[in-house]
Structures are given as structure tokens and as C-alpha cells.
Amino acid sequence: MKIIDRIQSGLTLSFEVFPPKSDKPLEPLLDTLDQLYTLKPDFISCTYGAMGSNKGRNMEVVERIQSDGVCEALSHYTCVGNTREDVLTALDEYATIGVENLLALRGDFPTGAAHTNGDFLHANELISFIRTQTGRFSLAAACYPEKHLLADSLEADIDALLKKQDAGAAFLMTQLCYSVENYQRFVDRARKRGVTLPIVAGVLPLLKKDGLVRMTLSNGCSIPAEVSALVGRYGESEESFREAGHDFTVSLVQKLIAEGTSGIHLYTLNRFEDVADLVFDAGIREKPQAKR
Ligand code: FAD
């Protein structure tokens, strides 16, 4: 099933997981997937190894999600390190394992490189290429409420978004963004510029101070004053920060839904408990009653 059909019929709930390194067992992630299924997601996405590494593991994980049959698998796929031949081979493999949905990305350049070391420089080129080869896949693309860190301006980044839309992307998935105001400003601007695709909001639950700082910095995202205050007030206590971060994320998710996002996509970091609490407390799914 194409994920875009789900999105068009109402708010979606989805999760992102990442594959273990090639020398680590897959089982812990499979257990997490079994737990995540209980939250009735519309789809689960699996990242594609940074800089083209760990390709096989991505395939193993999406095959598992697709064959479990609980929800659709969305496989991330990058330009980085991939030639036209590589893309054609990967499309065949995804088709063989029943995957119909791909998130087409450029990927981050390998350290020291200023190119993808493949045949495509930008995500829109990858999307166009796949579109000319086959209509089998529904393609999502990335967007950045606070602009991509290398884009000269938000307007320049929206130019890029329009190219991805013209190339045939079916929906957009956002980078994490802790500011609802910035998210809304981006959506308003993108809509005014002619971006019509549904936008699914990516949310990284705020659970650890170090993780927050690392992820926001590496992705060029802002830390709003409200979040800085949480770091100042609770940063020294892991447990208190987790509780305050949970409350902040619940409120963020509720505001994004109120703003009309097409879906909530939670970056799970392969964890279940925190994600489940968030899904229940934000009111996206009902908590099952404990059996007596
Ligand atoms: P592009 O759309 O190519 O944009 C990259 C930059 O080039 C931007 O500054 C843009 O403004 C500019 N640009 C775009 N098109 C053009 C054009 N035609 N001409 C000139 N300039 C242009 N990375 C991974 O390695 N693996 C993953 O699994 C992964 N998953 C992700 C999931 C999500 C939801 C998001 C938001 C990001 C993910 N990333 C992942 C990171 C992503 O690969 C990087 O942010 C990467 O630097 C940009 O990818 P993109 O597809 O947005 O690239």
C-alpha cells in the first residue's frame, strides 16, 4: 500500500528506527519492532546508513517490517555512494521484498568530500530518475522547517523543495524542530510558494540533554528559549530532565496536530517505553486498560 493513501485519509502515526551495525545482532531491534506494532503505526521507516554504509542492514530491516504485515515499511535511500546502476539494483531488491515506499534523500557528504560520490547530486535528481524508471514506488522527500543547514536561506531551501515536488515526491517529512512557531512559519511560506504536498512532522522526543544538544547542533536546528530553560533547570538530573522533556514533547506533538500536520513521525532511537508514553499522553492512541 502507498503511504500517501493513508496520509490522505487522516493524521498518521509513524516511527523511525535505525539498523544495528553489521557486527551487532538484529534481534533487539526486532523485539522493539514487535512492541512498536502494538501502537498501531501507519508506517515505520528505517534509516539508510550514513554515507552509504550499512546498506544490507537497511534491506534486512525493511524486509522484516514489510513481511510482518502490521504496517507499511518506508525505506530511506540516499544519493550518497550510489550510481544509476546501484539505484536500479536497489529498486529491484525493494520490489522483490514488497517495499513500495521510499524516502529519497541526498544524504550527508562523506567526510572531506563535497560530492555524493554517486551519479546524483540532489534528492530531486534521484526522485526524477526513479520516476522515469518505474511507477511502482511512492516517494517521500525531506524538508527542513528551519532550513537545511547548508542552504543560503529558507527561500533557497523552498526552491529545492519545489524541485522535489515537481520531480514527483508524494509527501514531505520534516527534520526535527522544537519550535512550533518556526514550523508554522515554514509551512506558511512553503504553501505561499506553491508547495502543496502533505507534510509529516518529524519529532525527536526530548529525553536526554546531551542527545538534544548533539542532534540540534548537527542538524542546524534551533533550541527555543523554553527548551534552554529546561536544560538550565533540569540538566543536572537525568530523571527530572526526562520527565520535563516528556511533558514538553507531549505539548509539542499536540500543537503540531492542532496546526494541521499530516502526521507525527517519531524518531524512536530504537526505544519503545518512552515512545509509548508519548503516544498515549499526547492522545494519539488510547492506552490499553491493564487486565485485572
Ligand atoms: P537535497 O534536497 O539534495 O538538499 C541538500 C541541500 O542542497 C539543501 O541545502 C538544498 O537547499 C540544496 N538543494 C537541493 N536541491 C538542489 C538543487 N537541485 N540545486 C541546488 N541546490 C539544491 N541521511 C542519511 O544519510 N540517511 C538517512 O536515513 C537519513 N534520513 C533522514 C530523514 C529525514 C526525515 C531527514 C529530514 C533527513 C534525513 N537524512 C538522512 C539527512 C539528509 O540526508 C541530509 O539532511 C542531507 O544533507 C540532505 O538531504 P536532502 O534529501 O534534503 O538533500
**Over the stretch 114-123, which tens digit does the pLDDT of each residue have?**
888 899 999 9
Give the model's pLDDT for residue 52: 56
pLDDT band at 290 (very low <50, low <70, confident <90, very high): confident
pLDDT tens figures, 121-142: 999 999 999 999 999 999 999 9
CA–centroid distance, 142 to ligand 1, in Å, is 6
Q: Using most ligand atoms within 8 A of CB, pick from 128, 148, 269 the residue to mutate for ligand 1.
A: 148
CA–centroid distance, 22 to ligand 1, in Å, is 24
Give the model's pLDDT for residue 50: 65
CA–centroid distance, 105 to ligand 1, in Å, is 5
Residues having CB closer than 6 A to ligand 1 are 47-48, 50, 76, 78, 105-108, 122-124, 142, 148, 150-151, 156-157, 160, 163, 173, 175, 202
Grid cell at residue 148: 537545511
List of residues 6+ apart from 4 with CB closer than 8 A? 138, 170, 171, 198
Give the model's pLDDT for residue 115: 85
pLDDT tens figures, 214-232: 999 999 999 999 999 999 9
CA distance 18 to 29: 9
Mean pLDDT over residues 175-191, rounded?
98
Ligand 1, atom 20: nearest CA belongs to which residue? 160
> How many Cα atoms are found within 13 Å in the side-chain-facing hemisphere of 281?
17
- pTM confidence score: 0.97
Asked if 64 and 92 touch (Cβ cutoff 8 Å), the reply is no
Ligand 1 atom nearest the C-alpha of 18 is 28
pLDDT at 9 over 70: yes
